[in-house]
Amino acid sequence: MSPNGRMNLMLFLAVVVIAAGNVGAFTYSLWGPSFSLYWNDFLDAHLYRPAVKAGDRTIANCLKVSDFYSARLTTYFLGDSDKSAGGPTTDLSKYDEYCDRVPGTGKVIFSVTLMEKDVRSQSVALAFYKSDAKGGLELLTSVPSKPHPAGFVTLESSVDHKGKYLLELAFGEGKSEEDRIAMPISVGQ
């Protein structure tokens, strides 16, 4: 091939690459979202290790929302064992960190971060319920309604049985569904 032929071939390939780039850029709205979804699913399945604890997750995985409010849930769990027997444990380094699934029975500390700054001056209550077989709720412990200017509401309890529990965050008087965030908690499931 002559030098002019090679130059023409390289120019032709450059024009084709530029044209393909423009077509791809201008039609991105047609193919981009499905490709992005496919790519993220591929990465999730093959490269990223699954999150086991809350510290391994992004904030969205532990985010709980209602129509007007949002809160981030972190559950600290200390399983039943000899080291946790005999009273309260105040050293959080002994606790494992989870979201809404606790692996077994033991002591739990629920820490709820209020995401909106203007909500922190409102009264906020937190209650922890145990679900029975008939779907009823039994109150285990609660934090009375009061402002939390630091943006954190914590509640300590113990879970004695595996099953379904409910953590409910109520804003203001919490009378309407929009003023409450219900957070189902699974223990040992």
- 126: its two tokens: 């937190």
Measured between alpha carbons, how far is 79 from 73 in angstroms, rounded to an integer?
19
Closest C-alpha to 73, from 101, 46, 47: 101
137 and 107 within one domain: yes
78 and 14 within one domain: no
138 and 71 within one domain: yes
30 and 7 within one domain: yes
60 and 127 within one domain: yes
pLDDT of residue 84: 53
pLDDT of residue 87: 53
Buried b (16+ CB within 10 A) or exposed e, 47-58: eeeeeeebeebe
Q: Which residues have CB under 8 Å from 100's CB, separation 6+?
A: 62, 73, 75, 183, 184, 185, 186
pLDDT of residue 123: 92
58 and 27 within one domain: no
176 and 100 within one domain: yes
93 and 42 within one domain: no
The secondary structure of 177-188, three-state, reads HHHEEEEEEEEC
Domain assignment of residue 105, given as a range: 54-187
pLDDT of residue 56: 54
84 and 15 within one domain: no
97 and 168 within one domain: yes
> For the chain, what is the domain count?
2
**C-alpha atoms less than 13 angstroms from C-alpha of 168 in its C-beta half-sphere:** 25
Digit-by-digit pLDDT tens for the chain (189 residues) are: 788 889 999 999 999 999 999 998 898 888 888 888 778 777 766 665 544 555 555 545 688 888 888 898 988 888 876 555 545 566 667 788 888 888 888 889 999 999 888 888 899 999 999 998 888 899 999 999 999 999 899 999 999 889 999 999 999 887 888 889 999 998 987
CATH of the domain at 181: 2.60.40.1930
pLDDT of residue 76: 86
